[in-house]
Amino acid sequence: MFSIKKLLGHDEKFFNLLEASAEQADQSVHHLVALLARLERKESPESLEEFVKSRRKDKQITQELTEQLCKTFITPFEREDIQSLAAALYKIPKTVEKIGERILICPDDLHGHNFNVHLNLLDQAAEAVLAMVKELRKGTDAATAREKNARLQTIEGDADKLELELLRDLYHGEYDAKQIIFLRDLYELLEKVIDRCRDAGNIVLQIVLKYS
C-alpha cells in the first residue's frame, strides 16, 4: 500500500492544493459542456468568464503549491513530482479555455455538429484524473493506480479514433475552407484536453509506483 504521506509528510495543505487543482480542471470541462448545450439550444453564448475564473484559480493554486514547496522541507525528487503534477493539472483548464475562445469566434459554424461524444470522453477523463488525485491522500496500491490509469489510456485511444473519423468526414465532406480550418482546430483542441488528462494520470501513476 502506497501513502503519499511518505512524499508530503503529514501536512495536509499539499493534498488540499492538488485536489483543488484537479477540481478546477474538472469544473472547466463542465463549463464547456454548459456552453455547447446553450449553443445547441440556439441560445446566445455567454462570455468566457467562468472559463477564465477556473484557469486563474488553478494558476493561483499552482503558484501557492510552488510557494509552499519553498517553505517546506522536501527532497528534490519529491518536489519534482509535485511540481510536475501541478503543471500537468493546470494545462487542462488552460486548454479548455482555448476551446471556449475558438467557439465564441464562430459559434454559428457549430450548428449541425454534435459534440456529445467528445464531451462524454472529456467528462470521463477529467473525472478519472480527479479520482486519481484524491486517491493520493488516503493512499492507493499500484494495482488500483494502474487500473485507473488504464481507463484513461482507453479514453485517450477512443478520442484519437473519434478525431480521425471526424477529420475524414471533414476532408471528404462539403465544407468550405473556413469551416474546415475552424472545425479541425476544435477537434484538435478537444483531443488535446484528453491528452492533458492522460499526462496527469501518468504522473500520478509514476508517483504511486515510485513510493509503493
Specify the CATH number for the domain of residue 107.
Answer: 1.20.58.220
Please report whether residue 1 resides in a domain. no
SS3 assignment, position 42: coil
Give the separation between CA 18 and CA 63, rounded to whole angstroms.
12
Please report whether residue 127 resides in a domain. yes
Please report whether residue 99 resides in a domain. yes
Give the separation between CA 181 and CA 84, rounded to whole angstroms.
33
Q: pLDDT tens digits for the chain (212 residues)?
A: 445 555 444 567 888 999 999 999 999 999 998 888 887 777 766 667 888 888 888 889 989 888 887 877 664 347 788 889 999 999 999 999 999 999 888 888 887 788 899 999 999 999 999 999 999 887 778 888 899 999 999 999 999 999 999 999 989 988 888 889 999 999 999 999 999 999 999 999 999 888 87
Calculate the CA dihedral of residues 112, 118, 124, 130 and round it to 10 degrees: -100
Which three cell numbers, joined as nine digits, stand for 75? Answer: 527532497
Please report whether residue 170 resides in a domain. yes
Please report whether residue 37 resides in a domain. yes
Count up the domains in the chain and report the number. 1
Dihedral pair phi/psi, residue 2, rounded to 5°:
-95, 140
Please report whether residue 3 resides in a domain. no
Give the separation between CA 75 and CA 71, rounded to whole angstroms.
12
| Domain of 69, in residue numbers | 8-211
